[in-house]
Amino acid sequence: MTELSSAPQEGEREALKQAACRSGEELLFPSGGWVRSPEAYHNALRLLRTEIELIRKEWKSAEGFSPIEHIKTRIKEPSSILDKLSRLGLEARLDETAEHIHDIAGMRIVFPFVTDIYLLLERIGRHSELRILQIKDYIMNPKPNGYRSLHVLLSVPSELDGRPCRVRVELQMRTLAMDFWASLDHILLYKYDRKVPEHLQAELASAAGAAGELDRKMLSLRSEVLSLSEEEDKQLAERTKSGSPVSETAERPASVHHSIVRSESERRTDYRHEP
């Protein structure tokens, strides 16, 4: 039986990770090529984040709130690229990496409510500089293990050594509940080296269902709150029009009520990407 103490400790894991990273750099990018290679990806992520932040500010200015909870970006390390190439049964070559690894640059955007994900997708689809290459909707069609998220592969303008180019960026969009579930799934995959025991897989699948139900309940509650708020605004407008006195507590900007979200029918964007 393998002793638990034989597993690498946190410090040892980091040392092994750094060694694997250096080995991956030398194998994939000989002569220090990796030092320059991420430049184009970093540039693309900066541009994409700037564009998303502009949309975020526009929403906040127009509606009094932003439906985006937070944004994270990352560049995949060489050791992770090698691991993925190995799982795909591909050789550790630069051309294989460019052809088959599309998530070297990644961005994750987390939202409180699922409908806002599709609203941002619509905005991205109308952007002149961002090209949608592929959409994988794991929200409408979850993975067998329960994973839910919207994956969008983008072609983003960038530059390398002062010359214009385009690189691929994988954009993941999910709700807070989906993100919490995915974080736990990632921890278990790492702990068990992708061989998660069946009973834990079953528990994860059950938790995914609970997370999905939470998203539905929160969306329903938001719709109910908005419905009540719209009725109050209507009554306020009628009293104002008739000249009836209006208390100070009744006088409040409509943006407080309407800024949370538009009606469900408006938010359900039927966006389709033609390849």
Instruction: Enter the DSSP assignment of 32.
Output: G
Q: Are 82 and 100 in contact (CB under 8 A)?
A: no
Instruction: Enter the DSSP assignment of 218.
Output: H
Judged by DSSP in three states, 204 sits in helix
- Domain ranges, ordered by start, for the chain: 16-212
| pLDDT single digits (tens) 52-62 | 999 999 998 88
Who has greater pLDDT, 229 or 10? 229
CATH code for the structural domain at 16-212: 3.30.460.10
Angstrom distance (rounded) from CA 211 to CA 146: 10
Name the nearest CA neighbour of 218 among 258, 266, 178: 178
Distances (CA, A) of 80 to 14, 42, 92, 192: 14, 17, 12, 17
Q: 125 burial class (0-12, 13-18, 19+ CB within 10 angstroms)?
A: middle
Angstrom distance (rounded) from CA 117 to CA 143: 18
Kindly report the pTM of this predicted structure. 0.68
The residue annotated as part of the active site, out of 12, 69, 96, 170, is 170
| pLDDT single digits (tens) 170-214 | 999 999 999 998 888 878 877 777 777 888 888 888 888 888 898
| pLDDT single digits (tens) 113-154 | 999 999 999 999 999 999 999 999 999 999 988 999 999 999
H or E stretch covering 107? strand 105-111
Q: Are 109 and 172 in contact (CB under 8 A)?
A: yes
The half-sphere exposure of 76 on its side-chain side, counting CA atoms within 13 A, is 20
Whether 7 has a pLDDT exceeding 60, the answer reads no
Work out whether strand 163-175 and strand 105-111 pair parallel, antiparallel, or are unpaired: parallel
| pLDDT single digits (tens) 46-99 | 999 999 999 999 998 887 778 899 999 998 887 777 777 778 777 666 555 666
H or E stretch covering 164? strand 163-175
Whether 264 has a pLDDT exceeding 80, the answer reads no
Whether 159 has a pLDDT exceeding 90, the answer reads no
Is 69 part of the annotated catalytic residue set? no
- The share of the chain scoring above pLDDT 70, in percent, equals 66
Angstrom distance (rounded) from CA 254 to CA 230: 8
Residues 6+ apart with CB under 8 A from 93: 28
The tokens describing 261, both together, are 């979200």
